[in-house]
Structure 1
Amino acid sequence: MQIIDPCFTRFKSSIDSYNLPERFTFPFYYQPHPLCLLAAEELQVSLDQKKALQHDFSQSGKMFGVLLVENAQGELGYLSGFSGKLADNNDLTHFVPPVDDSINTEFFKVEQKVINDLNAQLALLEANPGIEVKQRVLAELTSVANNDFSQLQSQNSAQKKARKAQRNLAATSLSDAELTLLKDKLAKESVADKNELKYLKLSWQEKLLKAQQGVDTLLDVIVSIKEQRSLLSNSLQQKLFEQYRFLNIKLEEKNLTDLFIDTAFHHKYGVPPAGAGDCAAPKLLQYAFKAGLKPIALAEFWWGKSPKSEVRQHKNFYTACIGKCQPILTHMLSGMLIDDNPLLKSLSEDKNVEIIYEDDVMAVINKPSELLSVPGKSISDCVHSRMKLLFPKASGPLIVHRLDMSTSGLMVIALTKQAHKNLQQQFIKRTVEKRYVALLSGCPKQLVDNEEGLISLPLAGDFDDRPRQMVCFETGKEAETKWQRIAFEQQGEQTLTRIHLYPKTGRTHQLRVHCAHHLGFNTPIVGDDLYGAKANRLHLHAEMLKLNHPTTNEAMAFTVAAKF
């Protein structure tokens, strides 16, 4: 008798013409397999039709995933999953369940009830009007005490100055005996002033201590309950982390705490990131391993309204996040044949760096796409290493500014320490003029209605998904990009837009995010594999550079056309 798996979905259309991948998807950089694209299309049709999900995707979008799997009978199908919850529910029919459901177990409910009871106690205690009354009395007494103390100090200071004047006058007008008597009298007055200040201070200290004790009596109970709640919350959280146990194909288990123990996040905060383990990819793999299904390929896509900060567009595919998913998926995929990580391989070894200009103190080059500006973690081939070979007698750091690995175009190289300092100051003071040309993967309305404009969106690194950047109005750094529309271009049935971009600031991925983010053009640059879709290359090129010569101060301008 065949067991019916409620999460295993058979393809609605024929898949006989499709070839299976030889290896499983490398989840942090991939192009969706054709069968995953088909599965995603079928799921998206279902999402359009499913009103029972009770989630308004026009208000908040969600990441979904499909996992191509093979069952025990050798039949191909797919699993569907989503990250986090939908309409405050994390276990919906036909979608894989969460990795752990401890929040619905008895131990969680019992311990959570204790924490909830403490929260209720705190709410009552913190609402006590007596706290505000006593705090106000303490503040008023403190103000009066400070005023009295200040007045007496001013009075004593004036009296001290008068006594000094008396001594100076008496030294020239009194006899020695009279002067001795006067000094003794003035010394006693000085002691009396100091004692008066001391007794005033002691008097107010006693009154303020009594008022502070009245406040502390009420607040200490609150502090004690908060400490108790914190201990219980941390204990419960740790239990939940230990309950989150992830399998791999060999059915080896590791819990969330163990998986994150050596990560930078755990070293900084002492716990795994919030939401770790609740993303679509870990949920899909966990279900497959438990159900005895063989994972074949994976793909994840965004559905619905774009989020406030990250670049996520409706129906676009995205890789798994580094911060939350890398430690988990590294364990879950161990023992499987995985696609090679393309980020570990240099894609520019056969590409030459063109020298546009050269003299004794500087050079200007045309960097090819996919060549790093400086060495990476696993790739040493870069502009810096090539310049060291090309200019062996050069002194100083050589690199004055950088271009993204995928961006081609003009870079200035300093051949002396003095030239490096001068050129770097020009970039810091923003006197260098830069112009980029980009090809957008669509025709945004903003560019149809206007020929030029300005995008101002502050940027911050996405801690959970480096190297991606996100728009953040709270912690982001100022980022401004002036733009000019050049032309609309037709490629088959698609209309693309060619534009000039003039970055006022030089934030990481600034131009790419300003184009792709929904508050910018909402249209990624063609070939943007981080914020859009992969193509033969990123269609972004630094085509113009204006600066002053570092020794002669002569104005210099360089241009090099894009090869797209």
Structure 2
Amino acid sequence: MKNIIGAKPSPAAAEVRFLTVDGESAGQRLDNFLFKQLKGVPKTHVYRIIRSGEVRINKGRAQAETRLAPGDVLRLPPVRTSAPAQAGGQPLAPAREFPVLLEDEAVLAIDKPAGVAVHGGSGVSSGVIEQLRAARPAARFLELVHRLDRETSGILLVAKKRSALTALQEQFRERETGKTYLALVEGRWPANRKVLDAPLAKYLLPGQNGAPEAGERRVKVVAKDHPDAMRAVTLVKVIAGLTLGPETGECSLLAVTIKTGRTHQIRVHLASAGHPIAGDDKYGDFERNRALQKLGLKRMFLHAWRLQFTHPATGARLSLQAALPPELKALTPQEVQDALATYLSTGSA
């Protein structure tokens, strides 16, 4: 029996389901679509049923990044989902607004703080998008255009219209946006090393204590002929070198521009080059991170600093900037802040 997207099947249903994609869901990635359809199912399990071929699109296997088209028929295997997180008809997500960098009828650009996931799932009850929806109950449409890691701060785009979402996501897919991050890395980055072009692949850590469920998702650099290899290109420019303390050694503040938007791309590329991001608890150095915590760095030093894109309604080319948050700015000496200002004024960014 087929369901048209938008119907409300029983949340506890544990049987094969067939869904037909309508225009509202067209253009979404398969994994993002399934996260919404299978609320309460761990993301690791969603990725597992995709990889195993249990999820089918028009009777064929698909990848997590496959874009859905109107009329596509999806087969979903039996999975038991939780009931919607509602209590007394009210959403559980706390209502929260975030610092606004730009807002009009089509687009909302916010300055996301570190420590907040962009959406709920995988043990996170709610994220930026759920909290925004709770704060704006009259909003007819609010959807994430792209993602940032939970511990990354900075510019995050939200579409306020379906047409804006489709247009902006197309820009991201076609690499027509400019995304530059500020990253503090361990060691002295070679000034002549400006391009990192190394394929990446996702994998899952083993489950803990022999558990059958796989563990956390990770990403690693792989050979070009690896079956799961995805090309990833990162551009790096050195802004300044600095030393935060005797136990941390030398560090480098980098302006990092990504030409591809792979999961954990910056973190893995920089770490694989021997210069992990300061405070990175997944790909960084544990002992140096402990020393940095004593100096006040309680998070990963990665900030989505600048974003350039074409406005989906007006066609104007826009450039947004989010200043370093106070907790990161407090760690950078004045001469480094001056170097950053000079870097900006010369148009290098």
Interval containing the TM-score (normalised by the shorter chain): 0.5 to 0.7
Q: Which residue is 1:513 aligned to? A: 268
Quote the Cα distance in structure 1 between the aligned partners of 2:95 and 2:241: 32
Please report how far the alpha carbon of residue 396 of structure 1 lies from its aligned counterpart in structure 2 after TM superposition. Answer: 4.1
Question: Could you say which residue in structure 2 is the equivalent of 1:9?
Answer: none
Unaligned residue ranges in structure 2 (runs of 5+):
1-47, 53-93, 207-215, 329-349
Tell me, in whole angstroms, the C-alpha distance in 2 between the residues paired with 1:439 and 1:449: 14
Q: Distance in 1 between matches of 2:142 and 2:218?
A: 27
Q: Is the Cα–Cα contact under 8 Å of residues 352 and 368 in structure 1 kept in the other structure?
A: no
SS in structure 2 opposite 1:502? strand
Matches of residues 170-209 of structure 1 in structure 2 within 5 Å?
none
Structure 2 CA distance, aligned partners of 1:512 and 1:371?
18
Distance 1:422 1:394 in 2: 20
The aligned residue for residue 220 of structure 2 is: 470
Q: Secondary structure at the match of 1:513?
A: helix
Cα separation, 2, equivalents of 1:356 and 1:403: 16
Aligned-pair Cα RMSD in Å: 2.5
Contact preservation (8 Å) 2:96, 2:132 = no
Shift of 1:391: 3.3
In the alignment, which residue of structure 1 is the partner of 2:331? none
**Pick aligned residue for 1:410 from 148, 151, 155:** 155
Residue 546 (structure 1) aligned with residue 308 (structure 2): yes
1:367-412 deviation digits (Å, cap 9, x = unpaired): 0111111112221221111221233343445101000111110011
Hey, which of these two has a bigger chunk of strand by percent?
Answer: 2
The match for 1:490 is 243
Query: Residue 546 of structure 1: SS of its match in structure 2?
Result: strand
Give a deviation string over 1:146-192, Cα, whole Å, max 9, x none.
xxxxxxxxxxxxxxxxxxxxxxxxxxxxxxxxxxxxxxxxxxxxxxx
Instruction: Give 1:426's aligned residue.
Output: 171
Letter in 2 for 1:448: P
Flag the structure with higher helix content.
Answer: 1
Please say which structure displays the higher CA radius of gyration.
1
Kept in 1, the 8 Å contact 2:142–2:158? The answer is no
> Residues 424 and 396 of structure 1: is their aligned pair in 2 closer, same or farther, counting only changes over 3 Å?
farther
CA 1:512/1:350 → structure 2, altered by over 3 Å: closer, same or farther? farther
Q: In structure 2, the residue corresponding to 1:547 is in which secondary structure? A: strand
Written as runs of structure 1 = structure 2, the 5 A alignment for 1:367-446 is 367-396=112-141, 398-443=143-188
Deviation string, structure 1 residues 207-263 (Cα, Å, up to 9, x no partner): xxxxxxxxxxxxxxxxxxxxxxxxxxxxxxxxxxxxxxxxxxxxxxxxxxxxxxxxx
For the 8 Å contact 1:367–1:409, the answer to whether it is kept is yes
- Could you tell me whether the CA contact under 8 Å between 2:240 and 2:253 is conserved in 1? yes
TM-score, normalization by structure 2:
0.57
Deviation of the 1:441 alpha carbon: 2.0
How many angstroms apart in 2 are the aligned matches of 1:358 and 1:545?
A: 15
Superposed displacement of residue 353, structure 1 = 2.2
- SS of 2:120's equivalent in the other structure is coil
Aligned partners of 1:370 and 1:387: how far apart in 2?
A: 16
Taking the aligned partners of 1:484 and 1:419, their CA distance within structure 2 comes to: 32
Q: Matched residues, percent identical?
A: 32
**Counterpart Cα distance in 1 of 2:305 and 2:96:** 18
Deviation at 1:555?
1.1
Give the aligned residue type for 2:218. R
Preserved contact between residue 364 and residue 410 of structure 1 (Cα < 8 Å): yes
Alignment of 1:83-482 (within 5 A): 353-396=98-141, 398-443=143-188, 447-450=189-192, 453-464=194-205, 466-473=216-223, 474-475=226-227, 476-482=229-235
Rounded to whole Å, the distance in 2 between the matches of 1:414 and 1:479 is 26
CA displacement at 1:350 relative to structure 2: 12
The equivalent of 1:556 in structure 2 is: 318
Report the equivalent of 1:240.
none
- Structure 2 CA distance for partners of 1:435 and 1:449, relative to 1, 3 Å: closer
Alpha-carbon distance in 1 for matches of 2:321, 2:142? 24
C-alpha separation in 2, matches of 1:527 and 1:480: 23
**Counterpart of 2:313 in 1: which secondary structure?**
coil
Count of residues in correspondence between the two structures: 215
The separation in 1 between residues aligned to 2:138 and 2:97, in whole angstroms, is 21
CA distance in 1, matches of 2:196, 2:123: 34
Structure 2 counterpart of 1:13: none
Unaligned runs of 5+ in 1: 1-263, 269-348
Is the 1:355–1:366 Cα contact (8 Å) retained in structure 2? yes
In the alignment, which residue of structure 2 is the partner of 1:105? none
Hey, what's the Cα distance between the residues in 2 that align with 1:509 and 1:489?
A: 25
Secondary structure of the residue that 1:448 maps to in structure 2? coil
Structure 1 380/479 Cα, relative in aligned 2: closer, same or farther at 3 Å? Answer: same
